[in-house]
């Protein structure tokens, strides 16, 4: 497997009873035999198909919004005439356009056939499971290579779960979470277009290595905990953290490889840290004891992280048995040991962190945030270099971004969300280095402290507000990338065309006022302005800034000219 999982997480179940007989173990390291760090691995290809108990899926406690799905007709139209004539109000509205950008708005929902847009390699399935298959796809115009994940509409139960997974992927924006670029839906299928991860599963690396060095394990755990901490801050409990659900972006050595979490099939929305979940969901080796009791919180994700860390360092899991029933009995008890012959060389700090994550009492279990800040992670994982590799060009790009017109700022956010990670190495490393508390967001203080590393002691007034395109009060990953993009990256015609087609909804080669209004107002059409005509008036002015021939539309030629302007 070198790409996003096309199945519900292997060996995982979302059921009111977790039927142990349904598990055919797949690749789980067994207890160590004499003279061996672990025993041979075995397989589970399709848990759901083997289960005799109907799967009961748990919907999020708070339904996720689909783009434009929760808003009806515009309100307040009785004041439209006054609004149009109020220049002060109109200027305020125009200025707020870029404060409405949300990455989920730019994940295109295409009706029709994916194969009209992508050339799909049917000769090789690079991922397969109960939800369908994953293949490589090449965009016919831009030639970008993506991963294409397909699900049939035949099974509506799975389809609902699949759509929920899409909603989670749209709302999450983090360097260690897989990118979703666009979706296609026709009469028979729904297809996801995602970034291609070619470095293989974390699970496969565990099997190959037997066990990791502490430095390697710390590098991996740091990335996993960053993703989990970020998800928890965004109100998402994953519920199926395990090595099979992490892919490496490339085949680089562990110390340099980027890890991505790929599967949100069992995830649930949570309103607050102590939100109680009831559905028994997870995988026997990694599931927390309280899940088996039927009442738990997001702390279950930290337990799973503890199991992964234990396994990375010794080559076998802390709770093992010959059958799934044996495993679950040991999980319920929660007892584990650091066998001296396999753990004598492992530091006490590492053992302390594992013990904190595998605390049987979830109320005393360490949080993802505290685990990320633990001395073993901070002292053992590779440190950020004294200089993050940014130069004066980054500062110039940031200042240039502040001066751009509104449509170009939006376009740069679209481009930033669609570029492959291999094009963004320095910016990604800088974002991670600036994010000192590891929550996946930058405060004004973190941004300023980070920029001091490249000789910038102060920022222009309004920098945070200008870069914070979704008006959240912090700078998200894609927002940071957008503000720091170099012209050499975004002035490529294929890159700009990918952004242009996000706005060109009907595909006629022109961006209209109506199309831009639709895109910018997907998330909350009432936040942009109090009335429909005021919003349209503001967006029409954005169009006029770019519309060189005065036809009221933006062609791709005009779009490219806008992008090329300093």
List active site positions: 240
The dihedrals phi and psi of 201, each to the nearest 5 degrees, come to -75, 150
Query: Which residue in 369, 421, 323 sits closest to 22, CA to CA?
Result: 323
Within 10 angstroms of residue 425's Cβ, the number of other Cβ atoms is 11
DSSP 8-state secondary structure symbol assigned to residue 375:
H
- CA atoms of 220 and 205, how far apart (whole Å): 11
Distance separating alpha carbons of residues 391 and 37, to the nearest angstrom: 46
Instruction: Indicate the SS3 state at residue 5.
Output: coil
How far is 277 from 59, CA to CA, in rounded Å?
10
- For 86, phi and psi rounded to 5 degrees? -95, 95
Instruction: Give the integer Cα–Cα distance in Å for 450 and 433.
Output: 7
CA distances, 426 to each of 181, 264, 389 (Å): 22, 28, 6
Rounded CA gap, 28 and 350, in Å?
22
Q: Measuring CA to CA, which residue among 367, 355, 171, 354 is closest to residue 274?
A: 367
Dihedral sign (CA 380, 385, 388, 389): negative
Scan for tokens 């170009």, then name that residue.
408
DSSP result, 33-73: PTT-SS------S-HHHH-SSPP-----SSPPPPTT-S--S
Bridge-partner residues for 247, per DSSP?
Answer: 201, 260
Radius of gyration of the chain (CA): 24
| Nearest-angstrom CA–CA distance, 549 and 174 | 40
- Conformation bin of residue 140: beta by default, left when phi > 0, alpha when psi is -120 to 50: alpha
**Residue 262: half-sphere exposure toward Cβ, Cα within 13 Å:** 37
Distance CA 363, CA 348 (A): 23
What 3-state DSSP class applies to 110?
A: strand
**Distance between CA atoms of residues 477 and 439, nearest Å:** 11
- The bridge status of strand 554-555 relative to strand 189-194 is unpaired
Rounded Cα–Cα distance for residues 108 and 50 (Å): 35
Give the β-pairing of 13-15 and 280-282: antiparallel
Going 450 to 454 to 458 to 462, the CA torsion angle's sign is negative
Contact indicator for 137, 119 with CB cutoff of 8 Å: yes
């Amino acid at each position: 497997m070198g790409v996003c999982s096309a199945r519900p997480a292997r060996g995982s179940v979302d059921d009111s009873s977790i039927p142990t007989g349904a598990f055919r173990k797949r690749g789980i390291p067994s207890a160590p035999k004499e003279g061996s760090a672990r025993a041979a691995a075995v397989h589970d290809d399709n848990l759901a198909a083997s289960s005799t108990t109907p799967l009961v899926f748990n919907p999020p406690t708070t339904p996720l919004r689909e783009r434009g799905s929760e808003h009806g007709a515009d309100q307040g139209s009785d004041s439209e005439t006054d609004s149009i004539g109020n220049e002060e109000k109109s200027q305020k509205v125009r200025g707020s356009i870029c404060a409405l950008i949300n990455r989920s708005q730019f994940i295109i929902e295409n009706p029709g056939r994916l194969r009209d847009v992508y050339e799909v390699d049917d000769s090789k399935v690079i991922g397969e499971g109960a939800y369908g298959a994953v293949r490589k796809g090449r965009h016919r115009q831009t030639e970008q290579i993506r991963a294409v994940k397909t699900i049939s509409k035949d099974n509506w139960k799975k389809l609902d779960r699949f759509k929920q997974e899409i909603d989670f992927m749209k709302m999450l924006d983090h360097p260690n979470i897989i990118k979703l670029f666009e979706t296609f839906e026709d009469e028979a299928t729904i297809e996801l277009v995602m970034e291609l991860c070619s470095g293989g599963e974390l699970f496969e690396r565990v099997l190959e290595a037997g066990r990791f060095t502490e430095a390697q394990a710390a590098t991996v755990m740091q990335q996993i905990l960053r993703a989990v901490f970020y998800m928890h801050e965004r109100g998402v409990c994953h519920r199926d953290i395990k090595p099979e659900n992490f892919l490496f972006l490339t085949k680089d050595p562990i110390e340099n490889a980027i890890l991505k979490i790929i599967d949100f099939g069992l995830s649930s929305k949570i309103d607050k840290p102590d939100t109680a979940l009831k559905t028994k969901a997870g995988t026997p080796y990694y599931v927390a004891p309280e899940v088996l009791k039927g009442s738990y919180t997001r702390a279950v994700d930290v337990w799973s992280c503890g199991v992964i860390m234990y396994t990375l360092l010794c080559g076998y899991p802390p709770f093992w048995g010959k059958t799934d029933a044996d495993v679950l009995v040991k999980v319920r008890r929660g007892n584990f040991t650091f066998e001296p012959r396999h753990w004598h060389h492992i530091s006490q700090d590492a053992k302390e962190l594992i013990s904190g994550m595998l605390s049987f009492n979830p109320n005393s279990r360490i949080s993802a945030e505290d685990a990320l800040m633990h001395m073993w992670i901070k002292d053992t994982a590779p440190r950020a270099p004294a200089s993050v590799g940014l130069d004066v060009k980054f500062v110039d790009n940031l200042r240039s971004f502040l001066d751009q017109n509104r449509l170009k700022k939006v376009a740069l956010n679209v481009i930033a969300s669609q570029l492959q990670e291999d094009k963004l190495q320095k910016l990604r490393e800088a974002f991670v280095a600036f994010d000192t508390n590891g929550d996946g967001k930058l405060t004004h203080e973190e941004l300023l402290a980070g920029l001091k590393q490249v000789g910038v002691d102060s920022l222009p007034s309004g920098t945070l507000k200008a870069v914070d395109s979704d008006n959240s009060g912090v700078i998200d990953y894609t927002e940071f990338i957008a503000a720091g993009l170099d012209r050499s990256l975004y002035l490529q015609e294929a890159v700009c065309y990918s952004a242009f087609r996000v706005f060109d909804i009907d595909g006629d080669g022109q961006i209209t006022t109506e199309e831009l209004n639709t895109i910018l107002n997907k998330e909350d059409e009432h936040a942009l302005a109090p009335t429909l005509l005021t919003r349209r008036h503001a967006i029409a002015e954005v169009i006029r800034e770019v519309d060189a021939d005065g036809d009221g539309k933006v062609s791709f030629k005009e779009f490219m000219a806008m992008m090329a302007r300093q």
